[in-house]
C-alpha cells in the first residue's frame, strides 16, 4: 500500500489519474523562487517555453537573458553572473545542457563553486518521436561525476516544483532532471520533500510482519519511472511478494541511510531509472552498497544502447523499462537472493 505518512495522491491508482509534465513543475518552481529571491536570474538557449522558463521570463523580463542556441556560453555566462551574486537558472534540453557543455559546467560552475542551477528538460527515452538524438540517457552519469554537483530527478511536477524552489536554498550547483511527457501526479503539496532525503512511497502491509527477509524486495526508483515502479509493486504485492519502494529524487548526495536500511531489510534491490545503466542512479546505489551492505541488485535502465523514434510506451517496453520488466527483475532477484 502507499505509505500513508507520505500523503501521496489518493487517486494515484485511478485510470484517469491526473497527469502533468515534470518540466511544468520546474517552471512554476522557478517563478516562485524568483518571486521570493531577487538574486534569481534565468538564462535559456532558445527553448524558453519548451523548458517552461517562459513563466519566469514574462514576470521578470529584466532578469531573463535569451542566449540563442549556445549552450557552452549559457553555462559560463551563468557562472559569471553567479560570481556577481546572482543565482542563475539555465535551461535547455538535457541532451544539450549538460550534454554539450559538460566541461564548461565542470570548470566554470563546479570548480569555481558557483551556485548555478541547471535544468535539463526532455531527459530520458520518453521524449519519444524526436528520436535518439534528443533522448538524453547519459546526463545523470555526466552530472553526478562532478564534485559539488547535486543531482535531483523529480518523480512528478509537484516534486519538481519543490526541488526547484529548494535548490535556491543550497549553495551548491544543482542539476534538475526533467521529463517532457505527461507523467502521473504521485505526490501532493503535503508530501514531505527534502533535498538529499529518499522517501518510502510504497510498502506491503505484511512487510514488517515476517521476521525473515525471504520474500522481501526493495525497489529504488527515480524520475518519471517511479510511477511504473509503484504499479509494479502493487502487482507484486498482490502476488504475495513483500515490496518496499523508495523514491530516490536526490541521486547525489545519496541518502545512504535509507539505501542501507532498505538493503538490510530486504537483502536485494532493484533499481529503476530512465537512463543508461552505466553510471546512473543504479550505479550510485551499487557503489555505496558494495562497500556497506553488499546485496544482489538488478538494474532497470537502458543497456548501452541509443534510442529511436516511437511513443514513450513503445520505447520503454522495447528498451526494457516497462512495468513487466520491473516485475520480472524482482522475480529474478528473488531467485538470486541467498536467503
List contacts with other proteins (CB under 8 A): 41, 62-63, 65, 67-68, 70, 72-73, 75-86, 88, 103-104, 107-108, 111-113
Candidates 274, 245, 281, 297; CA nearest to 127 is 274
Task: Name the minimum Å distance from CB 246 to other proteins.
Answer: 35
The β-bridge relationship of strands 269-276 and 297-302 is parallel
Long-range (24+ apart) CB contacts under 8 A made by 288-294 are 288/254, 288/256, 288/259, 288/260, 289/259, 289/260, 289/263, 292/256, 292/260, 292/263, 293/260, 293/263, 293/264
- Residue with C-alpha cell 542563475? 88
Q: Which residue has the cell 517562459?
A: 54
CB of 80 to other proteins, least distance (A): 2
Euclidean distance between the first and the last CA atom of the chain, given in angstroms as a whole number: 25
| Residue closer to other proteins, measured from CB, 75 or 251 | 75
CB nearer to other proteins: give 82 or 224. 82
**Separation CA 246–CA 221 (nearest Å):** 6
CA 230 to chain centre: 15
Do you know the residue count of the chain? Answer: 339
Closest CB 327 distance from other proteins, rounded Å: 46
Q: Which of 107, 47, 55, 60 is nearest to 86 (CA)?
A: 60
52 closest CA partner among 119, 102, 105: 119
Between 171 and 214, CB nearer to other proteins: 171
SS3 (DSSP) at 89: strand
Minimum distance, C-beta of residue 48 to other proteins, in the bound complex (Å): 16
313 flagged as catalytic: no
Q: Which is nearer to other proteins, 86 or 144 (CB)?
A: 86
d(CA 143, CA 252): 9
Q: Closest separation between CB of residue 106 and other proteins, Å? A: 8
Pick between residue 148 and residue 197 the one whose CB is nearest to other proteins. 148
Nearer to other proteins by C-beta: 168 or 295?
A: 168
The H or E element spanning position 264 is helix 256-266
- Give min distance, CB of 195 to other proteins, in A: 23
The active-site residue out of 71, 165, 298, 323 is: 71
Catalytic residue IDs? 71
Amino acid at each position: 500500500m502507499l505509505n500513508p505518512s507520505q500523503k501521496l495522491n489518493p487517486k494515484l491508482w485511478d485510470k484517469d489519474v491526473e497527469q502533468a509534465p515534470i518540466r511544468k513543475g520546474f517552471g512554476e518552481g522557478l517563478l516562485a523562487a524568483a518571486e521570493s529571491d531577487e538574486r534569481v536570474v534565468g538564462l535559456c538557449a532558445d527553448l524558453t517555453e519548451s523548458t517552461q522558463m517562459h513563466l519566469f521570463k514574462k514576470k521578470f523580463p529584466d532578469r531573463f537573458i535569451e542566449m540563442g542556441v549556445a549552450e557552452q556560453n549559457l553555462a559560463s555566462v551563468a557562472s559569471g553572473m553567479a560570481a556577481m551574486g546572482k543565482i542563475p537558472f539555465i535551461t535547455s534540453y538535457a541532451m544539450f545542457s549538460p550534454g554539450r557543455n559538460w566541461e564548461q559546467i565542470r570548470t566554470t560552475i563546479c570548480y569555481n563553486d558557483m551556485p548555478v542551477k541547471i535544468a535539463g528538460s526532455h531527459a530520458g527515452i520518453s521524449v519519444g518521436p524526436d528520436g535518439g538524438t534528443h533522448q538524453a540517457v547519459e546526463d545523470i552519469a555526466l552530472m553526478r561525476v562532478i564534485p559539488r554537483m547535486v543531482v535531483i530527478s523529480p518523480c512528478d511536477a509537484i516534486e519538481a516544483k519543490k526541488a526547484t524552489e529548494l535548490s535556491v536554498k543550497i549553495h551548491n550547483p544543482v542539476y534538475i532532471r526533467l521529463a517532457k511527457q505527461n507523467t502521473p501526479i504521485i505526490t501532493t503539496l503535503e508530501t514531505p520533500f527534502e533535498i538529499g532525503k529518499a522517501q518510502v512511497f510504497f510498502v506491503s502491509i505484511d512487510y514488517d510482519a515476517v521476521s525473515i527477509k525471504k520474500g522481501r524486495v526493495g525497489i529504488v526508483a527515480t524520475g518519471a519511472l517511479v510511477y511504473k515502479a509503484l504499479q509494479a509493486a502493487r502487482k507484486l504485492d498482490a502476488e504475495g511478494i513483500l515490496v518496499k519502494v523508495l523514491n530516490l529524487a536526490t541521486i547525489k548526495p545519496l541518502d545512504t541511510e535509507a539505501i542501507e536500511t532498505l538493503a538490510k531489510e530486504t537483502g536485494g534491490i532493484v533499481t529503476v531509472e530512465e537512463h543508461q545503466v552505466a553510471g546512473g542512479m543504479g550505479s550510485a546505489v551499487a557503489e555505496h552498497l558494495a562497500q556497506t551492505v553488499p546485496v544482489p541488485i538488478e538494474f532497470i535502465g537502458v543497456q548501452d544502447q541509443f534510442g529511436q523514434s516511437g511513443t514513450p510506451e513503445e520505447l520503454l517496453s522495447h528498451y526494457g523499462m516497462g512495468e513487466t520488466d520491473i516485475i520480472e527483475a524482482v522475480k529474478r532477484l528473488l531467485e538470486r537472493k541467498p536467503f
